Amino acid sequence: MAPKHKHNDSLDPLTLAMAPPPNETSEQRAKREREEAEALQVSRRIDAELKLAKIALKKRKDAVQVLVLGQSMSGKSTTIKNFQMTYAQKAWSEERASWRAVILLNLVKSVTTVVDILSETMESAELLTTESQGSGKKAQPLTPLNENHRNIIRRLGVLRQIERDLKMLLGSGASEVEDPNEGGDNGPQFNPSRIQEFAVRSSSGWKDILDRIRNPSQGKESEAQRKAFQVISSCRDDILLMWNDKSVRSVLKNREASLEDSPGFFLNDIDRILSPNYEPSDRDIVRARLRTTGVQEYTFTLDRGNHTAVDWIIYDVAGVRTSRAAWIPYFKEITALIFLAPLSSFDETLAEDPRINRLEDTFMLWKTVCSNKLLAKVQIILFMNKTDILKKKLESGIQVNQHIPEFRDKSNDYDTVANWFKKLFKRLYFANTTPGREFISHFTSVVNTEATSQTLAAVQGAILRSDFVNTGLL
Ligand SMILES: Nc1nc2c(ncn2[C@@H]2O[C@H](COP(=O)(O)OP(=O)(O)OP(=O)(O)O)[C@@H](O)[C@H]2O)c(=O)[nH]1
Ligand SMILES: [Mg+2]
């Protein structure tokens, strides 16, 4: 009989290393076999996860990826809300009730804005009255506001705490201006050193916030919302008294505070919003304002047009100047880019930098996007948005040439102004774009959901027809 070691010599070192130890007891053997079975299970799970990750990566590569860009308040999230409403109806209806907290905050903010304007007006009138009394002149009433207004303002003071509570509930996007600790600088638009920082920060857009409101942890969120609803309801009469008061309206007019056209304006809907069974309508949701922070991703499955489905991934980003570096990593991935240019902003300045005219900032961004090499093969679609507000502004007599001298003495009517802006975008496009890339643009008002659904259908067609898709890359 051959000696034992001779037999082992014929085995490879791996088999030897894995062989059960000699003199193994039956308990040791059972333990070893249990551990081996567990290890096998872990290995199979990892294999399955890798397979799924590979499929997901392939699905992602095959998807139409669209980045929506534009300055803050240009209507990016509102455009994506329209996509969601049309193509992801289940998610849209599931989120409906959660928008109530955002709408309550928007309402409270409008009230506190009016209160601030009235308080300032009364204070400066008092100061002037005291000065003129000191000089011995006869005192003239310098404001139509009186003691009744002062009492209303005092009573509405309780809404300050409600505003703070709702902001806490909704996170940093609930404030228009970034928290300075949140990582902003006033530097150039595309600062590569900031990419990493923004790319790793987890997204906290409205989708995450709405999920949190829908699934409150220990009832905290719903409690804040319930209290807000109660307190705002108790202030209803004072809010209406103030908002419907002729003197208040004349003060607001003198201060050129056009609240009705400001984002998230719900004062005219207060009774509906404060009814116990209130559920936000589609129109309420597209009008609600919540600033995007970070980058948010939405997935839809759309018909390719020939009854085959294709996944779309749409990225929503923050538009404030300090967050624009976070856009760059997405430039390499995307199929198409929708650029939001709010035409109505010709007489406004940026919230984050009041020295800069909003429309100038948009033109500058547009030029950067058209000339960017990473975007050379990307189909760019321009939405000249907020046309409804542009119309109203022009009708109210606001002159474009007072804010953009290059407009000179052209007629200040909507068609002339809108087409002149379009010409400027087109000119900048052709001066900076990749040769041969088509110029696609739409005049939009993305709060008008019916008109926008038609625009989105056209956008879908244009993207699927684009060369990039048709060269077989998708
Ligand atoms: N009247 C009107 N309001 C609009 C239009 N587009 C957007 N808005 C409103 O403007 C506000 C801002 O729109 P958003 O979609 O939140 O803007 P955004 O580009 O996502 O802004 P950031 O998240 O700060 O980058 C919202 O209250 C919208 O309802 C429009 O065409 N007309
Ligand atoms: Mg947004």
pLDDT tens, N- to C-terminus, the chain (474 residues):
444 444 555 667 777 777 778 888 899 999 999 999 999 999 999 999 999 988 888 888 889 999 999 999 999 999 999 999 998 888 899 999 889 999 999 999 999 999 999 999 998 877 776 666 666 665 566 788 889 999 999 999 999 999 999 999 888 888 887 655 443 333 333 333 333 323 323 344 566 677 766 665 555 557 888 999 999 999 999 999 999 999 999 999 888 778 888 999 999 999 999 999 999 999 999 999 999 988 999 988 887 667 778 889 999 999 988 888 889 989 988 999 999 999 999 999 998 889 999 999 999 999 999 999 999 999 999 999 999 999 999 999 999 999 999 999 999 999 999 999 999 999 999 999 999 899 999 999 999 999 999 999 999 888 888 755 555 444
Cα(261)–Cα(341) distance, integer angstroms: 17
Distance (Å) from CA 203 to ligand 2 centroid: 12
Is 387 annotated for ligand binding? yes
- For atom 6 of ligand 1, the residue with the nearest CA is 75
- Residues 401, 462 contacting (CB under 8 angstroms): no
Distance (Å) from CA 263 to ligand 1 centroid: 7
Site to probe by mutation for ligand 1, drawn from 68, 74, 77, 78 as the one with most ligand atoms within 8 Å of Cβ, is 78
Is 299 annotated for ligand binding? no
User: How many residues are given for the chain?
Assistant: 474
Dihedral sign computed on CA atoms, order 258, 262, 264, 269: positive
Closest ligand 1 atom, CA of 340? 19
**In the structure encoding, which two tokens stand for residue 217, read together?**
């942890």
Q: State the burial class of residue 461 (Cβ atoms within 10 Å of its Cβ: 0-12, 13-18, 19+).
A: exposed
Distance (Å) from CA 218 to ligand 1 centroid: 32
Q: How many CA atoms lie within 13 A of 20 on its CB side?
A: 14
What is the pLDDT at residue 220? 59
- For atom 7 of ligand 1, the residue with the nearest CA is 75
Is 203 annotated for ligand binding? no
Sheet (strand 379-385) strand order: 295-303, 309-317, 64-69, 336-342, 379-385, 440-443
pLDDT digits (tens, 9 = 90+) for 310-341: 889 999 999 988 888 889 989 988 999 999 99
Is 253 annotated for ligand binding? no
First to last CA, the chain: 68
Does 173 sit in the ligand 1 pocket, CB within 6 Å? no
Distance (Å) from CA 16 to ligand 2 centroid: 62
Distance (Å) from CA 340 to ligand 1 centroid: 10
What is the pLDDT at residue 252? 92
Distance (Å) from CA 172 to ligand 2 centroid: 12
pLDDT digits (tens, 9 = 90+) for 99-144: 999 999 999 999 999 999 999 999 887 777 666 666 666 556 678 8
What is the pLDDT at residue 143? 80
What is the pLDDT at residue 195? 30
Query: What is the amino acid identity at position 217?
Result: S
- For atom 12 of ligand 1, the residue with the nearest CA is 73
pLDDT digits (tens, 9 = 90+) for 421-438: 999 999 999 999 999 899
Is 261 annotated for ligand binding? yes
What is the pLDDT at residue 181? 46
Dihedral sign computed on CA atoms, order 288, 290, 291, 292: negative
Domains of the chain: 63-94+294-467 (3.40.50.300), 98-287 (no CATH)
Cα(405)–Cα(403) distance, integer angstroms: 6
Distance (Å) from CA 469 to ligand 2 centroid: 27
Comparing CA positions, the residue from 424, 440, 316 lying closest to residue 378 is 440
Does 289 sit in the ligand 1 pocket, CB within 6 Å? yes
Does 292 sit in the ligand 1 pocket, CB within 6 Å? yes
Could you tell me how far CA 105 lies from the centroid of its own chain? 16
Does 74 sit in the ligand 1 pocket, CB within 6 Å? yes
- For atom 9 of ligand 1, the residue with the nearest CA is 263
Closest ligand 1 atom, CA of 79? 15
Does 102 sit in the ligand 1 pocket, CB within 6 Å? no
Comparing CA positions, the residue from 453, 436, 462, 207 lying closest to residue 338 is 462
